[in-house]
Amino acid sequence: MLTIKDPNARLVRWALKLQPFDFIIKYKNGKLHSDADCISRHPLEPEDEDCGIPVWISGVSMSDIPDIRNSQLKDSFSQKIRNILLDESISKRKKKYWSKRFEIINDVVYKTFIKNREMIYAMVIPKSMISNILFSCHDALTAGHMGTERTYKTISQRFYWPKMFESIRSYVKTCEKCQMNKVSNCKPGGKMVLTNIADKIFQKIGVDLVGPLPKTERNNKHIIVATDQLTKWVVAEPLANTTSEDVNNFLLNKVFLMFGIPKELITDRGTNLVSETNMKFYEQYGIKHCKCTLAHPQSDGKTERYNRVLGEGLRSFTKNQHNWDLYIHYLVFAYNTSENDATNKSPYSLLFGIEARLPVENLLGRIKNVSLEENIEVTLSNLRMDARNAIQGSHVRNKKYYDVKRSDLSFEVGDLVLTKNLQRRKGKNVKLQSKYLGPFRVFRKLSENNHQIVSLDGKPKSDIVHVEKLKPYIERQVVGLSERQ
Ligand SMILES: [Zn+2]
C-alpha cells in the first residue's frame, strides 16, 4: 500500500494513519481472523469522504504485534529489571527491593502490586509497543475513547511502563477525536438530590431513552439504556420505536430475565416510560417506580452520565451516521469494562469479581491478576461494599462540584483553539455532529473576550469569536510516544 504509484484518497488516508506505527503485514487465513472480519464487513458508505479508517477491534497493528519477550529484550527498562532480578552478583538488599515490585513469569517481566484486594500482574511494555497499547486501550472499538482517568485505570490494571500516567494523559489530551467531540465543561446545574444507594446488585435500575437519532439501515432511531445503580452495569439496545411495549420488552428480556427483577426503577417523565401500560407492567413485577423530577434531573445522574459517555463514543467512532447502531454494544463493553468514576471499579468486576479480558491482552498472552481473598463470595461482597462507600463519597463530591463556578478561560495570540460547532449540517443529526470545529489559531484579540481567528494556513475567518465558544486545542507531540530504540 505504501508503495502504490497512484493511490486513491482512501489509500492515502490509510497510509498516513499507519505511518506512526512500526508494523509488519502478514496474511492471515480468514478462519483465524473472524474478529477483524466482522468489522470489515460492516456496511460502510463508500462515498462518504469523512468516514475514514474503519474501526478495528483491538488496534492497528495488534494482530501483527511483535513477540513480547523479544521486544522486552530489546527494551532498556525491561532489560534493567531483568538484569537486577537474574544477576547473582547484585546485593541481596537491592534484589529484595526490586523483586517486591517486579517478577519474571514465563520469561516475561511483570510489575506486581496490590490493588482492590487483588495481586495485579501488569505486563511491562517496551517503549516500542507503548503506542500500540495506547491505541488499543483508547482508540479501538472496545475502548471507546474514554478520558484520561478511565484510560489510565484500564491500562494500569494490565500493563506498566515508566511514567505511564504522563504518557496516557498527553495521549488522551491530544486525541483529535476526543477534542472535537467532548464537552469540556459542565455548567453548574440545579441543586443535586442525594438518593439512597442500593446495597445489592440490580436492586435499583435507571432507565432512559436517547433519541431520536438518524435512522439507520436497520430502521433504528433510538437507544434505550438501563443502568444498575450499584455496579453501574449498563445494558443498551438500539430501538426502531419507543412505544411503551418496546420499553417493557427491553426491560423484561434484556434486564429482568438476565439479572433479576429490580426492587426499584428510576425513569424520567417520558410518556413511553410512565404510561398506563408501563405502570401495569412495573406493578405486575412488584417494582416500585420513581420518576425523577424535571427540576432535579441529577437524581438520576447515573444514566444521564452514561448517556454522555455513549454520545461521545458514538460521535468519536462514526461520522457515518447511518450505522451508529452497529457500534453500541462495543461501546457498552468499553464502558462496562472500564473503571467508573463513582465506584473506582469497573462495572464488570463488581458483577463478576474479576476484570474482563481485553482483546489486546489475549494477543499479548498476559497472565491474569490474582484475588487475595479466599473465595469469590468474599471478594464480591467486599468489592461491592467498597463501591457503595465510594458512590456515597462521590455523591458528596458531586454536590460540592455543582456549587463551583467555571474558571475563566483566556487565550493569547498564536494559541491553537477549537470553536463550538454551531452549524447544522443538513441531513446530519445534531446529536452525532462534532461538537467543535478546528483547529484554528488566535490571530488578534479584540478585547478580553473577543478573538479573531484564522485557519492554520493563515486564511482569516470572518467571524469574531467570543471566548465562551472557544476551547484550547492541544497538539500531539509524537516524540516520546512512538520513540523507538
Ligand atoms: Zn480519543
- pLDDT, tens only, 34-69: 444 444 444 333 333 333 333 344 454 444 566 888
- 405 near 188, Cβ under 8 Å? yes
Ligand 1 centroid from CA 214, angstroms: 23
| DSSP reduced 3-state for 463 | strand
CA of 118 to the centre of ligand 1 (A): 29
Q: Residue 292 above 80 pLDDT? A: no
Å from CA of 469 to ligand 1 middle: 21
**Higher confidence at residue 433 or residue 228?**
228
Q: What is the pLDDT of residues 226-244, one digit of tens each?
A: 999 899 999 999 999 999 9
Does the model's pTM come out above 0.75? no
Among 346, 353, 315, 341, CA closest to 178:
315
* Cα 3 versus chain centre, distance: 35
Q: How far is the CA of 296 from the centre of ligand 1 (A)?
A: 31
- CA–centroid distance, residue 12 to ligand 1 (Å): 22
> Is 476's pLDDT higher than 50?
yes
If you measure from the C-alpha of residue 139 to the centroid of ligand 1, how many angstroms do you get, rounded to a whole number? 6
Confidence of residue 121 (pLDDT cuts 50, 70, 90): very high
| CA gap 325, 466 in Å, rounded | 36
Cα of 276 from ligand 1 centre, angstroms:
42
Distance 447 CA to ligand 1 centre (A): 33
Ligand 1: centre distance to CA 145 (Å): 4
What is the percent of the chain with per-residue pLDDT over 90, rounded to a whole number?
Answer: 27
pLDDT value of residue 481:
45
Distance, CA of 128 to CA of 151 (rounded, Å): 19
